[in-house]
Structure 1
Amino acid sequence: MPAVYDFIIVGGGTAGQVVASRLSEDPSTSVLVLEAGADLTADPRVNIPIWYDTLLGSDADWKLRSSSQPGLNGRVLGLHQGKALGGSSSLNAHVFVPPFKGVIGSWEALGNEGWNWTMLKDYFAKAYSSPNVAKDAKEDLAIDGWLESSEAKGPIKTSFGDSSVGSFSCLAGIDSEGKRNNSASAYYKPAELRPNLHILTNSLVERILFDESKPPKAIGVQYSLDGASKTAQARNEVILAAGAFQSPEILQLSGVGRAERLEKYGIDIVMNLPGVGQNLQDHMISYTSFQAKDELETKDSLVRKEPEAISQAMQEYAATQSGPLASLGVHTYAYLPLSAPDRSALQELFTGHASEDSQEHKATQAYYDIANTTVLDPKQPSAAYLTALGQTNYAKDLRDGTIPAASPGKFITIGLMLSQPLSRRSVQITSIEPEDPPIIDPGYLSNPLDLEVISRHLLGVKNLAQSPQLGQLLQQPLQLLDPAADFQGDLNAAKKYARENLMSMWHYVGTCSMLPREKDGVVDANLRVYGIEGLRVVYASVIPLVSTANLQATVYAFAERAADLIKRDWNGE
């Protein structure tokens, strides 16, 4: 392969594969993709939906962890992120849901002209194919109003959204044959024989190379492969698509970031951009499990790893590509506001808790103003709810790593996710060695308003379980898997439970934010790094405000838009 390419893409994950596929559609354009992980497109753990959790903590996972979180009683959380072709789309829970339209509008309000729902919805349609749904089924599924199936004809095949406040049946990134559809299978595999597209796996990018011009220009990358350090040159651009942790890490190691921090490690400053690594946002979630009726089919026997249940499920999947292995069991979502009394109480708290002066990020006030508006608006969601057919069990604290034993019985779990967190912190390098993981501090619940919002939502979970529709699936009277989740209307009990049980949803964004430079932005509305030529950042690290719920669908649409911006700049398209 030649050592010089038109475009070098750092990261072969969800967004990287989209951009690589779209740019290489032009046979005269050469594209190199450098992926730190392996090609696992044939691995059954990737392809069979239910086995996604077997990849967590494996070599397909970066195996990162948070710093000790004071807001969570000092707990250390596992922060899973894909390290394989397809990135996190190869090991996530394959939930494919739209964002709330107002969130996308907030991107534009933060100073990014043109980034609104009207623009982005066309890129959702370009990214995925919706299953055909009979007209008389749309009302039952509550999916009317997002994107009609006739509009959505993209590479990602789904098997089952509405972006309004309320409940809906959610799509999943699973094709009609019961296999996971990720960016590697949907975007890369159809393009892998193109002579102008080159993929190098197990290649860890160490730093970006710049020339000595003013302004500096990115001219290539240095990476390690098979124990040797190598370089590749870019004629047009280096495109950083390495995620919300590795993208800021690579920039910092390359001399792009807050100057005084980089100087501590003896790194030559290429561009002083204080926002690099700042503004890290993530969704937090709490799971509440209720005992289900005996006749309901759940995933609990698989959670308990019962040999007979696993054997039967594998036989069914092998024969028909259906059954328990073909789905995670997450089928419904709801985007909900708080009740009127809760909103009134929060209005007083927002008024009495003005945004703190932040030397860390200059957009703090703008984010506070957005949250103040959305959380208090009865037509905008402050939380997302999901239901899962089965219990969840996980290590709540990596300081000891204990995973509780799965319980006997059948359960339905309600997951409650904080949609618009105000808490945010940073990703910072710890040395000049690319192999050393950065310090990742999401600052969970560091803003007290987050605890107030999610605790009030937690108080309403039992009411949802008692609703006629859900209640008919559950044992009566209600039996909770964890008695501590029965708060009896006590807000302080809900707050205590939140600190002890909230987990990451692995929806990391914001560390290379698309914001005006005077607000500590890292890239402009065309995703170009400020002050540097030939360097762009795509992927979730650029998203300035986290989406309403799961990120997968939004990242695909974002990457499709990014590819068009790049082609427009270089080809005039």
Structure 2
Amino acid sequence: MSLPEEFDIIVCGGGSAGCVVAGRLANLDHNLTVLLIEAGESNLNNPWVFRPGIYPRNMKLDSKTASFYESRPSKWLAGRKAVVPCAHILGGGSSINFMMYTRASASDYDDFQAEGWTTKELLPLMKKHETYQRPCHNKEVHGFEGPIKVSFGNYTYPIKDDFLRATDSQGIPTVDDLEDLQTGHGAEHWLKWINRDTGRRSDSAHAYIHATRAVHSNLYLACNTKVDKVIIKDGRAVAVRTVPTKPLHPKQLNTRTFKARKQIVVSGGTLSSPLILQRSGIGDPEKLKAAGVEPIVDLPGVGLNFQDHYLTFSVYRAKPETESFDDFVRGDPEVQKRVFDEWALKGTGPLATNGIEAGVKIRPTEEELKEFENWPTSHFKSGWESYFKNKPDKPVMHYSVIAGWFGDHMLMPPGKFFTMFHFLEYPFSRGSTHIKSANPYETPDFDTGFMNDERDMAPMVWGYVKSRETARRMDAYAGEVENMHPFFDYDSPARCYDMDLATTKAYALPGNLTAGITHGSWSSHLPKAEKLPSDNILSSNKRDVREDLQYSKRDIEQVEEWVKRHVESTWHSLGTCSMAPREGNSIVKHGVLDPRLNVHGVKGLKVADLSVCPDNVGCNTYSTALLIGEKAAVLVAEDLGYSGEALEMKVPTYHAPGELTLPFRL
């Protein structure tokens, strides 16, 4: 269908937040015309999107559903360039993310220091977008009528219980609801953005866009269309210029301009929204001139304050009887057929989960904080005192167990595995991104800033050490995959050992690997400190556990070097169009947006995505993106004069083809 030239509202970017904004506003008043522009393809009923267990495919470098931004080389990353993936499909991250349901802490939104953005004020919007599909003792903080579904999925790998027993033995309590906005230390069975009734991923495009377009005709969609810039006249945003996602010829841009009568909302995401503003003439005047763009609005904060969560993986061998998704990922045809058939018939089985079944949010003890001070990079104390100490709802680290290895099995030895992935919740490091020219296809000057504040090193090291102790206490544990861990000296008691169970015939006793080795030559290569007699096994009323490994200063140096060489993005970037006063505040030096998400100095132009966050949030950020979308929709509606019941903006329920007639519903 050909698109009109003019609309009431234009939303630039069909990611997690943009879909919420467009869908809500289209349902606000069916006389309003809304255009949603998305650079990627539509995700409508795409099985590679809605089948949850397929999500690793979207991480491949040849992925058509993700774009990859490469940063400058960094001394903080041992000379590496960081690569930050961004979704390139309708629904944004909600179409391809890990589906982990976690929520920010209450103090996170309070720390934004923005009117109308306290957690108390935002809680109704948090509840508005979700349907919480599990027994709940905290009904005051969860929603039960929203378009986005939250459940345990339709399958749980047994390693969940193994992990929770191990964390409990470490003194990390298992809690019923770690996402109550208050609990900053504990373990839980992870919930997922999966519809329990269908087994499908619950993404924002199906929930807000496709559901609306199925029954109403006022929401227009332009996929495979890239936003070049916003056109500003007399201080007001009046139109959007677009180009094809991929040009037919370098000199043939085929531009098209769409006019907006009432409002333009930029929702391109943390790495695209600032570039759109800069190409529109909004940003640091000197940088804009250098890029060949005429400055219109002096806002030097555009593109600054880039933040992310920092991720490392560590992989462990699992005993042969451990249930994992390794055979499925490895490509075993019988396993794949069985898994696909079960999901197609009933919406259950391994495809109805992400394989990330349990995890923790943790804060260090006083003893651990003192230990940090003896480590080579020991600068975390000031950060703890100023940021974490008096806010017990803020976790320092996340880590979770994955029931297998979802990377390239051609690079791995045969066997079964489980993975720990750990990420830092509130890094102190900051980066930036700026255009190098007015060409919308040129890559930006991007500096992630990863690890450029040394206060971030100690918690990253601690996350590895802590999760490794959890792994060593699990029944599934059968050694480390050495090339997925730090390289320790040969005689270090902390050295990793890669054990091939198929040849050694060695099995681990509960909680103690080395005491169970009776076959093969592997044990003969252990340094003396690692050959533990049975009386060195600690006894508890629940299970046998091992003493913690002792790391020397040299060992910690090796972990630090490993972090530098392996730390990467968690796909949780935010902050580049920060909501703060123009001259900044205690969080950022230069703000870009006011509390109503208006771009300073421009009328009719808002930004609504994770780039608006002036400070970090301790969660997998889909929940925050949904919240920002809901808040932005309300703000636009209020600006247009709507109030009362109209602000509820109910959206229709989406039903996949044939969904209502399937014989099996849970």
Same fold flag (TM > 0.5): yes
Name the residue aligned to 1:184. 205
Separation in 1 of the partners of 2:476 and 2:626? Answer: 35
Cα distance 1:407–1:119, how it changes in 2: closer, same or farther (>3 A)? Answer: farther
- Out of 30, 54, 57, which is 1:54 matched to? 57
- Out of 390, 410, 416, which is 2:404 matched to? 390
Name the residue aligned to 1:141. none
Separation in 2 of the partners of 1:14 and 1:203? Answer: 17
Q: How does 1:114-513 map to 2 (within 5 A)?
A: 114-133=116-135, 144-145=137-138, 151-160=143-152, 161-163=177-179, 164-165=183-184, 166-176=186-196, 177-192=198-213, 193-211=215-233, 213=234, 216-225=235-244, 228-344=254-370, 372-374=386-388, 380-393=394-407, 405-467=411-473, 471-475=474-478, 478-481=479-482, 482=484, 484=486, 486=494, 488-489=550-551, 490-513=555-578
* Paired residue secondary structure (1:104): helix
* Paired residue secondary structure (2:221): strand
Please state how far the C-alpha of 1:18 moved relative to its aligned partner. Answer: 0.4
Separation in 2 of the partners of 1:483 and 1:508? Answer: 25
Contact kept? 1:41, 1:47, Cα under 8 Å: no
Separation in 2 of the partners of 1:479 and 1:53? Answer: 22
Separation in 2 of the partners of 1:271 and 1:473? Answer: 58
Please state how far the C-alpha of 1:296 moved relative to its aligned partner. Answer: 2.4
* Paired residue secondary structure (2:260): strand
Bigger CA drift: 234-243 or 372-381? 372-381
Contact kept? 1:281, 1:424, Cα under 8 Å: yes
Contact kept? 1:337, 1:375, Cα under 8 Å: no
Separation in 1 of the partners of 2:19 and 2:119? Answer: 23
Separation in 1 of the partners of 2:7 and 2:599? Answer: 20
The letter for the 2-side match of 1:253 is R
- Out of 85, 106, 130, which is 1:80 matched to? 85
Q: Tell me the alpha carbon deviations over residues 242-272 of structure 1, each in whole angstroms, 9 at most, x when there is no partner.
A: 0011100111111000000001122111101
2:554 matches 1:552: no
Separation in 1 of the partners of 2:199 and 2:350? Answer: 10
Please state how far the C-alpha of 1:104 moved relative to its aligned partner. Answer: 2.0
* Paired residue secondary structure (2:274): helix
Separation in 1 of the partners of 2:303 and 2:560? Answer: 29
Gaps of 5+ in 2: 153-176, 488-493, 496-549, 585-589, 644-666
The letter for the 2-side match of 1:265 is A
Bigger CA drift: 246-255 or 484-493? 484-493
Separation in 1 of the partners of 2:393 and 2:270? Answer: 30
Q: Tell me the alpha carbon deviations over residues 216-243 of structure 1, each in whole angstroms, 9 at most, x when there is no partner.
A: 1100111124852111111111100000
* Paired residue secondary structure (2:8): strand
Larger Cα-atom Rg: 2
Q: How many residue pairs get matched? A: 531
Please state how far the C-alpha of 1:99 moved relative to its aligned partner. Answer: 1.3
Q: Tell me the alpha carbon deviations over residues 421-461 of structure 1, each in whole angstroms, 9 at most, x when there is no partner.
A: 01111011122110112122111111111012211232222
Contact kept? 1:33, 1:198, Cα under 8 Å: yes
Name the residue aligned to 1:102. 107
Contact kept? 1:371, 1:422, Cα under 8 Å: no
The letter for the 2-side match of 1:384 is H
Contact kept? 2:307, 2:448, Cα under 8 Å: yes
Name the residue aligned to 1:360. none
Contact kept? 2:379, 2:458, Cα under 8 Å: no
Q: Tell me the alpha carbon deviations over residues 335-381 of structure 1, each in whole angstroms, 9 at most, x when there is no partner.
A: 101121232466899xx9699xxxxxxxxxxxx87883216866531
TM-score, with structure 2 as normaliser: 0.75
TM-score, with structure 1 as normaliser: 0.87
2:19 matches 1:17: yes
- Out of 577, 593, 605, which is 1:535 matched to? 605
Please state how far the C-alpha of 1:2 moved relative to its aligned partner. Answer: 3.0
The letter for the 1-side match of 2:178 is D
Contact kept? 1:120, 1:558, Cα under 8 Å: no
Gaps of 5+ in 1: 139-143, 356-367, 395-402
Name the residue aligned to 1:361. none
Contact kept? 1:15, 1:556, Cα under 8 Å: yes
Contact kept? 1:207, 1:251, Cα under 8 Å: yes
Cα distance 1:316–1:280, how it changes in 2: closer, same or farther (>3 A)? Answer: same
The letter for the 1-side match of 2:148 is I
Name the residue aligned to 2:491. none
Contact kept? 2:431, 2:449, Cα under 8 Å: yes
Please state how far the C-alpha of 1:541 moved relative to its aligned partner. Answer: 0.8
Contact kept? 1:35, 1:201, Cα under 8 Å: yes
Please state how far the C-alpha of 1:87 moved relative to its aligned partner. Answer: 1.3
Contact kept? 1:375, 1:381, Cα under 8 Å: no
Separation in 1 of the partners of 2:461 and 2:628? Answer: 32
Separation in 2 of the partners of 1:91 and 1:182? Answer: 9
Separation in 2 of the partners of 1:348 and 1:413? Answer: 28
Please state how far the C-alpha of 1:171 moved relative to its aligned partner. Answer: 1.9
The letter for the 1-side match of 2:265 is I
Contact kept? 1:338, 1:457, Cα under 8 Å: no
Separation in 2 of the partners of 1:407 and 1:556? Answer: 40
Contact kept? 1:338, 1:378, Cα under 8 Å: no
Separation in 2 of the partners of 1:387 and 1:548? Answer: 18
The letter for the 2-side match of 1:93 is F
Separation in 2 of the partners of 1:4 and 1:159? Answer: 40
* Paired residue secondary structure (1:571): coil
Separation in 2 of the partners of 1:483 and 1:454? Answer: 13
Q: Tell me the alpha carbon deviations over residues 473-492 of structure 1, each in whole angstroms, 9 at most, x when there is no partner.
A: 333xx445545375652322
